[in-house]
Structure 1
Amino acid sequence: MQDITVIILTFNEEKHIKRCVESLQAFTDKIFIVDSGSTDKTVEIAEALGAKVVQNTWVNYAVQFNFGIVNNPFKTKWLMRMDADEYVLPALAAEINQKLATFSDETSGLYIKRRVIFMDKWIRHGAYYPIWLLRIWRNGQGACEESWMDEHITLTQGNTKQLENDLVDHNLNNLTWWTQKHNLYAIREVIDLLNIKYNFRNFESVEPKFFGTQEQRTRFLKVKYASVPLFLRPIFYFIYRYFVRFGFLDGKQGFIWHFLQGFWYRFLVDAKVYEVYHRAGKEKSAIVQFFKDEYQKDLSK
């Protein structure tokens, strides 16, 4: 067993948690789950597999994950971030076993490639693979960025390296669940995009930088995306992903994925941005009040 704790946030993940935990047990027995009031068998399954589970009221992803970092009962050298609907491939588990103890003290974080499976299809094209994510870092040298959407782990020191093998994102819920979840995501995405313009609150965030790390480049592109006119940007983005980056090679499942995730979702975000401007105007204070009234969200926190 490696000297690493895996932190997982859960809410009603009985379809996924067994698969996730069992994939991790190939290299660690220290699995810490922060649950936010699951009403299914998530906690029962996780505890039966030996995971340590605590309850904490949900505020947002960053607050919940940083709670997990601070309250981690395992005093390990390394921490790892996983979502419940993800799992580690055997090759990645073997690589972690082989390499983790060999990194020098100057190495503070490890990037891992994520592959997305949608309707049992690996989405290889459309600029969706490989996506490099900082998922392993030294305890005490990283925290979750407190943005509203696309939260990244930020390091306080040290350099990073890349592992060769993949983890897999494969959600087993149906398409109705997926669209409902992305409708909720869209509200957070609206706040994140508007924050680029209005700066509702200051927080330590990833520096936008095209020739930087994956998350720096992602943030740079998001800032540029926010400057493109409403409703044109999802059209351009879909054309880029599906045609320029060969998303059409992913077949029927790929068409559904790239259209829904690359166009429909982002068009929905723009429609919600338009609704904010239509109902509240473009004054910062009025927008802040709109989100308090409509969504009970305080944009200053």
Structure 2
Amino acid sequence: MQQDISVIILTFNEEKHIARCIKSILPFTHKIFIVDSGSTDKTVEIAERLGAIVQYNPWVNYAQQFNFGIENNPHKTKWLMRMDSDEYIMPELSEEISSKLAGLNDQISGIYVKRRVMFFNKWIRHGAYYPIWLLRIWRNGRGVCEETWMDEHIKITEGITQNFSHDIVDHNLNNLTWWTQKHNLYAIREVIDLLNMKYDFRDFESVEPKLFGSQEQRKRYLKMKYASLPLFTRPFMYFIYRYFFRLGFLDGTKGLVWHFLQGFWYRFLVDAKIYEVYQRVGKDKNAIVDFFQKEYNKNLRS
């Protein structure tokens, strides 16, 4: 059953994933808006063939790109949904959206769904990695993407939220070299995000940190606590917590690779990049802003 909802997807060279993503959405809506940042493969061709409307917009960061999608979405639907191109919706969630969405009362502004992560074709069930509750569906006009550099969440401006029972699946089909290169780039954004918590480079609308709030509020609270810990000790602490205390070792060999790379290597790389910043320009706020502008062409104040 088609619903009054449109789905916004950001793409760049996603020909491996985009058809799978769109086909999982079609059972409940054909209103799909893709913001592409200059794909040179068949991403746009595949998406348009499946009925999506595609618009080009140059990339700055995820939050600005997604908010461009919200503001320029040609589908004037009651509900919006956020999807990544390497994700797809489980049939059970599709059916849940079809059967429940239209009947929700007007006080409900946002809907949380669970995300499961697949790595080497294995579902990562442990290490505090499932379930991850994400606000992915919200009423048009009542939500924006917070403009952080990393871990961007949808911020609801009014109303209450509700949980749906079923999953979206994050299952990237690229190889491990691609994954490590991507996370090397992620690390730069993560550095900016962590340094912003210390130096407050700019003001922006963000999710309120709260230990006993929603999952993204709790995650933001814990991230701020993580940012206050000493460099190079926190990656060890985080990995031990995930792999041993939260039973990540039960995910087997593939899980070991995942938890080590995502839970330790990546976070150690972030700390190394922060250390590099301090070694190159010290801890002066303006010097750090100039460093990122010169080295990475990133304006920390915008």
TM-score normalised by L of structure 1: 1.00
Distance 1:254 1:190 in 2: 25
Distance 2:148 2:223 in 1: 13
Post-superposition Cα deviations, 1:71-117, rounded to whole Å, max 9, x if no partner, equal 11011000000000000000000000000001000000000000000
Post-superposition Cα deviations, 1:140-175, rounded to whole Å, max 9, x if no partner, equal 000000001000000110000000000000000000
Task: Give 1:36 shift.
Answer: 0.5
Post-superposition Cα deviations, 1:193-243, rounded to whole Å, max 9, x if no partner, equal 000000000001111100000110000000000011000000000000000
Q: Does residue 218 in structure 1 map to residue 226 in structure 2?
A: no
Quote the residue 2:283 is aligned against: 282
AA aligned to 1:224 is: K
Quote the residue 1:36 is aligned against: 37
Post-superposition Cα deviations, 1:252-286, rounded to whole Å, max 9, x if no partner, equal 11000000000000000000000000001011011
Quote the residue 1:197 is aligned against: 198
Name the SS for the 1:167 alignment partner. Answer: strand
Distance 2:284 2:44 in 1: 45
AA aligned to 1:43 is: V
Quote the residue 1:8 is aligned against: 9
Quote the residue 2:64 is aligned against: 63
Name the SS for the 1:163 alignment partner. Answer: strand
Q: Which runs of 5+ in 2 are unaligned?
A: none
Task: Give 1:293 shift.
Answer: 1.1
Q: Does residue 83 in structure 1 map to residue 84 in structure 2?
A: yes
| Structure 1 segment 141-290 matched on structure 2, within 5 A | 141-290=142-291
Distance 1:48 1:285 in 2: 48
TM-score normalised by L of structure 2: 0.99
Name the SS for the 1:114 alignment partner. Answer: strand
Distance 1:16 1:57 in 2: 21
Instruction: Report runs of 4+ in structure 1 exceeding 3 Å deviation.
Output: none
Distance 1:283 1:70 in 2: 36
AA aligned to 1:223 is: M
Q: Percent identity among equivalent residues?
A: 74
Post-superposition Cα deviations, 1:44-89, rounded to whole Å, max 9, x if no partner, equal 0000001111111111101110010011101100000000000000
Q: Which runs of 5+ in 1 are unaligned?
A: none
* Two-structure CA RMSD over aligned residues (Å): 0.4
AA aligned to 2:106 is: D
Name the SS for the 1:231 alignment partner. Answer: coil
Distance 2:227 2:34 in 1: 35
Quote the residue 1:54 is aligned against: 55
Q: Does residue 137 in structure 1 map to residue 138 in structure 2?
A: yes
Quote the residue 1:106 is aligned against: 107
Task: Give 1:121 shift.
Answer: 0.4
| Structure 1 segment 118-129 matched on structure 2, within 5 A | 118-129=119-130
Distance 2:75 2:135 in 1: 20
Task: Give 1:178 shift.
Answer: 0.1
Number of residue pairs matched? Answer: 301
AA aligned to 2:285 is: K
Name the SS for the 2:277 alignment partner. Answer: helix
Task: Give 1:19 shift.
Answer: 0.2
Name the SS for the 2:95 alignment partner. Answer: helix
Distance 2:254 2:205 in 1: 37
